[in-house]
Amino acid sequence: MKILDGRTVAAERRVEWRERAEALGEKGIVPALRFVRFEGAQDGGYGRSILRAAGETGVDAQLVDVEPSTDAALRVIGDLADDDAIHGLGIITPVPAGVDVNELAAAIPPAKDIDGASSASAGRLFAGLPSFAPATAQAVITLCDAYDIELEGRHAVVVGRSRVVGKPLALLLLDRNATVTICHSRTADLAAETRAADLLVAATGQPGLIRASGVRPDAVVIDVGTTYVDGQVLGDVDADGLDEVAAAFAPAVGGVGPLTTTQLMANVVTAASRDL
């Protein structure tokens, strides 16, 4: 079973995107990203990962701390949305109780919505218009492409239907001419569905939900799930016996994760290169 190594792919992609950022720099454009972060909110190290990826890709990134109020954040986002020197805007989630993340996301113009957070971006993705999809969903496709995993005509099964991973990923896979099944917590016989998958992507946050017995021989399995238990990261896939069935596996750690932040930077550089 081949391990799909997201860290190596991310390192390669960061060099490529850095070159594009530098080319923009020669024209006087410095790709700039701002992420709104609420004071006191736990981000699980995500903010740090964003800054590291930005440093490696030549993107000027800052986390902008705001007090936990929708109005305060709206003022900050409004200013950044109007600032022509800022190309990408994101919000660190989850946001504190009482803050309306949808209202905040709606204030991000689609051209700067580099994590596909707003319903306008989601609608554009649905309609096949130029847009940024959520970075994690894009990262799954980037990982497949990096390993020349054929998507067209293949049966992809996505387990999880969230707004940030499952649903947009299903649309991106459809766009690549895969035949897509979406599973969720009410799916009647999950293993029967997953056993039909050429490409199986698990994004549920339920550790060990997918077992080798639910994997079709020679399938490609991508584990997006990351659940923190006692300082350890657990994926959705129980790797026990997996190497006897799967052709390839992207584990929860070192798989899609490093590519998510890389994808954010790619989107910022793209946003700085053109108007959507």
By beta-carbon proximity to ligand NDP, the closer residue of 110 and 160 is 160
Residue 159 interacting with ligand NDP (CB under 6 A): yes
Residues 114-133 that bind ligand NDP (CB under 6 A): none
- Options 57, 136, 181, 263; binder of ligand NDP; rule CB under 6 A: 136
| CA distance to 20, 115, 159, 164, per residue, from 136 (Å) | 21, 8, 14, 7
By beta-carbon proximity to ligand NDP, the closer residue of 99 and 165 is 165
Beta carbons within 8 Å of 153's beta carbon, 6+ residues apart: 177, 178, 179
Beta strand pairing call for 232-234 and 248-250: unpaired
Q: Which stretch binds ligand NDP (CB under 6 A): 75-83, 115-123, 191-199, 253-261?
A: 253-261
Residue 264 interacting with ligand NDP (CB under 6 A): no
Could you tell me which of 241, 140, 240 has the C-alpha nearest to residue 200?
140
Could you tell me which of 165, 169, 138 has the C-alpha nearest to residue 156?
169
Alpha-carbon gap, residue 181 to 195, rounded angstroms = 12
Alpha-carbon gap, residue 253 to 233, rounded angstroms = 7
Q: Which stretch binds ligand NDP (CB under 6 A): 22-30, 82-90, 143-151, 256-264?
A: 256-264
- Options 49, 62, 179, 206; binder of ligand NDP; rule CB under 6 A: 206
**Size of site (CB under 6 A) for ligand NDP:** 26
- Options 55, 109, 205, 208; binder of ligand NDP; rule CB under 6 A: 205
Residue 162 interacting with ligand NDP (CB under 6 A): yes
Beta strand pairing call for 220-223 and 248-250: parallel
Shortest spacing between CB 267 and ligand NDP, in angstroms? 14
- Options 9, 77, 92, 183; binder of ligand NDP; rule CB under 6 A: 183
Residues 4-43 that bind ligand NDP (CB under 6 A): none
Q: Residues 155-183, buried b or exposed e (16+ Cβ, 10 A)?
A: ebbbbbbbebbbbbbbbbbeebebebbbb
Which helix (H) or strand (E) segment holds residue 104: the answer is helix 101-106
| CA distance to 109, 114, 135, per residue, from 49 (Å) | 24, 16, 14
Residue 254 interacting with ligand NDP (CB under 6 A): no
Residue 170 interacting with ligand NDP (CB under 6 A): no
By beta-carbon proximity to ligand NDP, the closer residue of 76 and 257 is 257
Residues 208-237 that bind ligand NDP (CB under 6 A): 209, 224-227
By beta-carbon proximity to ligand NDP, the closer residue of 58 and 168 is 168
**CA torsion sign, 37 to 38 to 39 to 43?**
negative
Residue 164 interacting with ligand NDP (CB under 6 A): yes
Alpha-carbon gap, residue 61 to 69, rounded angstroms = 23
Which residues would be at the binding site for ligand NDP (CB under 6 A)?
136, 159-162, 164-166, 183-187, 190, 203-206, 209, 224-227, 256-257, 260
